[in-house]
Structure 1
């Protein structure tokens, strides 16, 4: 396949490009197009142009053929022009006149003319005195007329009309020819016709264009020829599905119409197409710069001996065409790049950067480059772009389902649509790949030509063992992670995808992993994402990569792996007591239909177990066999009525016992100095909360749906760090302990559905940190007078309770709104403007009369949501 077939460049993007394709070449091109698969997301014109441009560069042997009279200007003007053309990467043929033999033009020169896309003819005073030059010109004009070549004349100290009419020195030359070649006047006539036709072409006149200044004249010639000549493009992809839209996003960030120096970053997970997009963008815009360079695989090359030096040499060669350049050190290269490129308008692509040293060695800072320069950097690490100070960054998104199917099918079948018998299997592979181009291409190529049975077998295998070629690419992102961050990544991959970020932070912080910085690093490398609900997300193939890292440590003995999550393997380890001290985390999440009884002795050898989930499991035996290193213990549907006294929980950070049969959590006081989260959600037999005297670090307490709960222990007031208390749906709870007012850190308090709670403690207003109070449906008749002290309250829900009268409710409202002017029978409160932070007020179903609306409701400057329905 041609190097440039995937370029999305269109002819409209090149205003200075004027070419007429050789009919012979067009036919050849059509034949070769059979190999080109059209991008369904690209219009016909775009694909055709990209393909034509691709083949045009490889079709011509040279970009430019130089025709000139050596005696006139070989060592001055033409030499300078030749050097300038070569310096900007234009392949130029210049004949060595001293090698000429005989009186007729050589086959070598004929082939050079015919193999050049453009012929530049330097008409000087002595040009016509060379029969060799005139024969060259005849062939050049012939190629222009028959093969679509471009002829560009230069009038070097001669008048174009002298060339056109064969006057002046040209007349003198032809007078001699007509005397010498009387027997070959057809040849002389061909020369005349060629001169006339060449002089009629649009070209350059030294005197009129540059006022005789040759250096300026040459610059203008090189600039226009650069526009005429297609840049050498980069191979983008065999099947560039969906590239157009993504390249356009990058070009928007580049903002090519401005004269400032802009640096733009492209980032995302491995295999997502960052390099492909960067190369496609490069192909489309590189023609508009004085010089351009695309440095691929920087991370890999820079790790090799003198790798950075070689990259510096390539950068200078690409832009300046400096041959045989030798750089001795990175520091020398930095100085050379800064001095030689300074002030030039250049385009540089830096692919796969992962270290600031690479960036400093290659592009330094924006002051190195001239106005209008652009730098595109691709990386897996978003933080690299932040440190680089990019002007814009684009995170590459996965392919959509339709794009994914097309890319997979093109690799698996060579067509956009799967064979009928393979449709469901193709969709299965597409869903497994989750829009990752690398995976779609690798698996498509792997399954090409295989039977349906082989397809099914491979899909089953992928559920347990990811494809090695995909894994190799994805694992590059993990290479420089420290041990703690790697542990965070592996824990998420095996257990925590879809869970709340803050919840997981508490678990991993308890394990000593520093998750706050760890999450940021993983997110910047596109290994983990946080969705709009603050849930941890991970691409399925990234997740499978993490799990495969664990599996391959002990492929045949699951009990010797650090993490266990696969249902059958976990059951096998626990039933056969094959767990070892290597096991750090284990999850067994059964359904209610499964009735599994296990012995606690199965955990005896798992001395380092820190994460354990055993939902709907029945455990028998002594709990002293369980690890003393547990940080997270999750046991939904626990059948115990209380936790055994010999169950060591002192290192526990989160205790999650949702939907349990617990009547009380523990009989005797437990010393749980590290516990931060206690979740007893929907433990319907729980009658009273535990004693909190020895749980000083508790931050989140969830008793939602504990319908038998009648009291909360007075010790709750000792929880100085408690920020969230959820009692929603505790319909038999009657009173709150007075000590609850001591919760100075409490931010969220949910009492909704506590139908029998009739009052709040008088000191309720002491909870100065409270921002959200959800109390709809409670039986409260009077708010405490201290309520007005809750200056940070932003959300208040007091809907429901239809049995209250308008007067009793407005009396309650008055006492809260205006604590200095209490009047239990007043319909209107004196003032409510002191509630500066309130954003949401829900008074729905409160049976308010029209005159019961506070008169200065409009003074609540932060209020955004008001419900009076």
Structure 2
């Protein structure tokens, strides 16, 4: 077997501690590329099952062929992998002759594998396989050729496996493994090996469906990523750490790398079992010294080494690298260190690779392989669903998937359900055995932190948890931060978005340890429902209880009665959490205190008691160490009586405590940071001594309907967020902090804002939505220099915008819908010192070009707007414009280039849009765009034409960005639009009635500069009211070959739709056109994944559907549909006649380029074309031909051919009269004007 490698590889591991395999498979194949892909995945699968294999990697011939024949004779099974290049190799053919001779003698079993080659081509030496055979061996000895051909025929008449019969390469590997294991089972059983049954077709239809193989492809990706971190050409020594949680595959990855690369260096050693050899520091040193001496004896005293140090658990084990590493490991060597503790590698390694978990598909594949026997595969649907739940719990951890699969294998459905229920509470024994040593290596504070997080603080903010953990010993402030960092380095927790998370496996371990009364910490966490229930209903509680966690939704009775002295002995109780996970709101609580409660808990840090039944906390409650108090939906009227010292209290949540009237208990809470009083409907005022809360940063008073005003002269110096939303009786707002950043006054009864508002220099958001009594805003609004978002929606009495004197240059979101504003002030209308006239909404246009950073603009339901000012196109940051229900809007000017959404729903007077609709600028990222014109019944045909033209050109730019960055699939239209209409534009090359379109495609269509597809659906509505505020027109696209093959490529695409964030339901009154453009990148990726041999599909089947939320849209019907391939040189537009009109642009070098962005020259041509078409129908076809001609013409060419048609025209045949403007500078534009004016030039048909 000829390859480009230089050595032989055996499946016998040279790694210390790895057992010998039992059987040997000889792999006969040809090709360097095949080795890197399919063969490498096959080899890894064989290694996983500890099946001994042999691949020859030597290029030399001569005497080595005899040793290969010996290897074949020593083998039990041969895999003959036939590919297109197989027949080029004499070596492969010689091996095949030897293989088939052994098969005939009954000494060997052969499994033919046909990889991207037909069985008949191998058997008869035809096709590409036959061409290679004839070209390479035409002068070969006829006797030898006869032997080869006989061997090929003999191999192909046996039942084999083909890639074409499998859904993917991984599926083929699974079937190969099944056949190999079956053969091994026969050998173990002592049965005589007989040749596979004969067949003329190597189909796998008679082979039963087998379990999927483990996810080798995912491991291969990890290997590639690891390889990128080590450069064997680098002359410097490189040390790379491989890290990750237990069971994630660190050792397996290191072993894969070692086996692949060990022959590249003179010395290669893999040291396993470091954890067990902690005190044997000389182990590695002695082995490396011996290896060095061997090389020195061979005359090479500068040998580089590949060294793998596996499962390092202590820095002492790496001392030899610091002390005498240069003596043991020469410069240029490569060292891999696997460890569960990233902190051990600090200051030592050059790079670190974190092993990722398996993705969902790989994880399900691995679990299924171990959870189901061959007889039980494939699993029934109910087992399939439960399998996914096991996979979710395992979180991509390979070891856990294997162990859980083995544990549940062969069990009935009820056993599966029971195991799923107790997964979060009981660890698998083998998984626990794997994880427990990791916990045991922690310090005592780290153990407490780990268990507390597992039991109480999953998904809590990191800073919050640090404060709680630090509170145990005030003399060691900051130690919690170090403990959390250590836990993260050891992969026992993770920090995501500033919150602490923990893998399910580790959380289960932590809760098991925490609940044990005999754990090594001497304290227990009562998180099991039965334990917590028992402790609260008796007086047997002990001082070893550290926390109580009770979910009252698990109480099956009407409730429980807590003993008055249930907590009296729990002197070390730090955490109490009593809540209802199913009904957190105002339903009746299930925990009763009929005799009150003695609650003298001095150590309490965290008290969360939802629906607390008493009107105040017990008088003996000692909050000196209390940090977090949460009593939502409680019955309290006041927190406690009298003044209590609360030096550490930082968070208080009394939300929806409907009886709360008194907050005086918090007078001394000087450390308080957050206070949540939302829904406290009887709270009339705030205490004046709240000013003592110098640390308060967040105050939520939403829905406090009895609150009338805030205390005067209060100054909460740290307050950043103030929420007074829906305080419906609140009338008088006063500034209580000059440092406010977020102010929410929406839904209040205020009539105005005080002049002191000018002091809010840090204010970012001011929300005044639905302040229906608001009549005016102060002129000092421009003094809010940091303001980015101003929401005035629904302020129906607000007649004018304040007369600001300064430009509000940071304002990004301005929402004016539902107001009575008719004009904007002069200083808001321009930038710099260029003066402009005062502009009136009602008479002219709203000018807003002074808002240079504006991102969102809402002008909906404003009947004073007739058009938008043209300078809006200069707002390059503007992403979203809402013009819904602007019933007097008649025209749109050119829109900004980065606009993502224009919603002009129900603009019933809108007739025209600008040309172009929006500026086009180069894109650097994929940003989908949507342009909605539903119920715009007066929209003119020319306007629709411009909308479609712009959508197409924008989609090409996005598609280009998508391809440049090689980003993932985007299964929604890159650009989508909708407007009233009942016809598919005629430029759609494929059209059909109904919701389904099937069309054969031209050969090699994907090789013709194709960038995407255009999709169109005509949908009938008839006053349809959108029910779920998310109407979508979707399609399923299938690309296949004719005749139909065994595999196809599918993808879903959202063609377009409407999504409403408010409670208003839209109604669509008539039939509408939905058009979406999607990228070729989507189709290409699906094709690569789904179509065999990368064949270009020749048939497209598309089905359109309309959904409303997650449901089928009722009373909506797709009447017609369309599909068109869009190439780089297409720019379809829909004019008044519905004809195709390519758009031409001039590139920098003067050539005509339809990929270029729109420019004045192109625009001038388009205007002229539309004008002449409107006056002369007879010119339409000729103009289309000539425009196509010009677009395909290049310098130095006198003749341009039109898309393969027999139509040619000489440029010189067209008379060049004068042309105005920039077009005059290019002779090819003269041809356009000549045809338009004279109509004399005609295509010559050859």
Shared fold (TM-score, shorter chain, > 0.5)? yes
User: Of residues 738, 753, 767 in structure 1, which corresponds to 2:726?
Assistant: 753
Separation in 1, partners of 2:361, 2:56: 41
For residues 82-128 of structure 1, the C-alpha deviation after alignment (integer angstroms, 9 at most, x for no partner) is xxxxxxxxxx9xxxxxxxxxxxxxxxxx99997899xxxxxxxxxxx
Alpha-carbon contact 1:818-1:832 (below 8 Å) kept:
no
Give the superposition deviation at 1:489: 0.8
After superposition, where does 1:338-737 map in structure 2 within 5 Å? 345-362=304-321, 373-391=333-351, 393-413=352-372, 415=374, 417=377, 419-420=379-380, 423=384, 426-427=387-388, 429-448=390-409, 462=423, 464-512=425-473, 514-532=479-497, 534-554=498-518, 562-591=524-553, 594-615=558-579, 616=589, 617-737=591-711
* Residues 728, 62 of structure 1: alpha-carbon distance in 2 compared, 3 angstrom cutoff: closer
* Residues 448, 595 of structure 1: alpha-carbon distance in 2 compared, 3 angstrom cutoff: closer
* Residues 18, 396 of structure 1: alpha-carbon distance in 2 compared, 3 angstrom cutoff: closer
* Residues 843, 686 of structure 1: alpha-carbon distance in 2 compared, 3 angstrom cutoff: farther
For residues 389-425 of structure 1, the C-alpha deviation after alignment (integer angstroms, 9 at most, x for no partner) is 533x333232233322322333344559455496566
Deviates more, 1:858-867 or 1:594-603: 858-867
1:308 aligned onto 2:308:
no
Separation in 1, partners of 2:826, 2:4: 69
Alpha-carbon contact 1:661-1:683 (below 8 Å) kept:
yes
Separation in 2, partners of 1:500, 1:378: 30
Give the superposition deviation at 1:844: 6.0
Separation in 2, partners of 1:248, 1:452: 40
Separation in 1, partners of 2:565, 2:366: 51
Give the superposition deviation at 1:371: 7.1
User: Of residues 813, 819, 824 in structure 1, which corresponds to 2:781?
Assistant: 813
Give the superposition deviation at 1:643: 2.4
Alpha-carbon contact 1:642-1:664 (below 8 Å) kept:
yes
Alpha-carbon contact 1:772-1:793 (below 8 Å) kept:
yes
Separation in 2, partners of 1:538, 1:756: 45
Q: Which has the higher strand share?
A: 2
1:185 corresponds to: none
Separation in 2, partners of 1:632, 1:428: 32
TM superposition score normalised by structure 1: 0.65
Larger radius of gyration: 1
Give the superposition deviation at 1:646: 2.7
Give the superposition deviation at 1:473: 1.2
2:271 corresponds to: 295
Separation in 2, partners of 1:531, 1:638: 32
* Residues 56, 422 of structure 1: alpha-carbon distance in 2 compared, 3 angstrom cutoff: closer
Separation in 2, partners of 1:240, 1:319: 38
Separation in 1, partners of 2:697, 2:747: 23
Give the superposition deviation at 1:722: 1.4
Separation in 1, partners of 2:744, 2:702: 9
Alpha-carbon contact 1:689-1:711 (below 8 Å) kept:
no
SS at match of 2:566: helix
Deviates more, 1:657-666 or 1:791-800: 791-800
Separation in 2, partners of 1:289, 1:502: 48
Separation in 1, partners of 2:430, 2:384: 24
Separation in 1, partners of 2:25, 2:57: 23
Separation in 1, partners of 2:339, 2:486: 13
For residues 165-201 of structure 1, the C-alpha deviation after alignment (integer angstroms, 9 at most, x for no partner) is xxxxxxxxxxxxxxxxxxxxxxxxxxxxxxxxxxxxx
Give the superposition deviation at 1:626: 4.1
Separation in 2, partners of 1:316, 1:858: 75
Separation in 2, partners of 1:716, 1:283: 69
Please, which runs of 5 or more residues in structure 2 have no aligned partner? 11-20, 28-35, 74-93, 100-212, 580-588, 788-798, 833-849, 860-1246
* Residues 625, 755 of structure 1: alpha-carbon distance in 2 compared, 3 angstrom cutoff: closer
Separation in 2, partners of 1:552, 1:831: 67
Alpha-carbon contact 1:60-1:116 (below 8 Å) kept:
no
Separation in 1, partners of 2:39, 2:830: 63
SS at match of 1:600: coil
Give the superposition deviation at 1:811: 2.8
SS at match of 2:229: helix
1:743 corresponds to: 716
2:205 corresponds to: none
User: Of residues 828, 834, 848 in structure 1, which corresponds to 2:803?
Assistant: 828
Give the superposition deviation at 1:262: 4.0
2:223 corresponds to: 247
Give the superposition deviation at 1:345: 4.4
Alpha-carbon contact 1:795-1:839 (below 8 Å) kept:
no
Separation in 2, partners of 1:855, 1:111: 88
Separation in 2, partners of 1:505, 1:18: 55
Alpha-carbon contact 1:797-1:842 (below 8 Å) kept:
no
TM superposition score normalised by structure 2: 0.47
Separation in 2, partners of 1:382, 1:493: 21
Alpha-carbon contact 1:731-1:753 (below 8 Å) kept:
yes
User: Of residues 9, 16, 20 in structure 1, which corresponds to 2:5?
Assistant: 16
Give the superposition deviation at 1:543: 0.6
Separation in 2, partners of 1:577, 1:291: 68
Separation in 2, partners of 1:56, 1:473: 26
* Residues 56, 725 of structure 1: alpha-carbon distance in 2 compared, 3 angstrom cutoff: closer
Separation in 2, partners of 1:53, 1:647: 64
Alpha-carbon contact 1:259-1:371 (below 8 Å) kept:
yes
Alpha-carbon contact 1:382-1:524 (below 8 Å) kept:
yes
* Residues 776, 116 of structure 1: alpha-carbon distance in 2 compared, 3 angstrom cutoff: same
* Residues 852, 505 of structure 1: alpha-carbon distance in 2 compared, 3 angstrom cutoff: farther
SS at match of 1:243: helix
For residues 480-521 of structure 1, the C-alpha deviation after alignment (integer angstroms, 9 at most, x for no partner) is 322222111101111222333343333333334843222222
User: Of residues 46, 59, 66 in structure 1, which corresponds to 2:40?
Assistant: 46
Give the superposition deviation at 1:862: 10
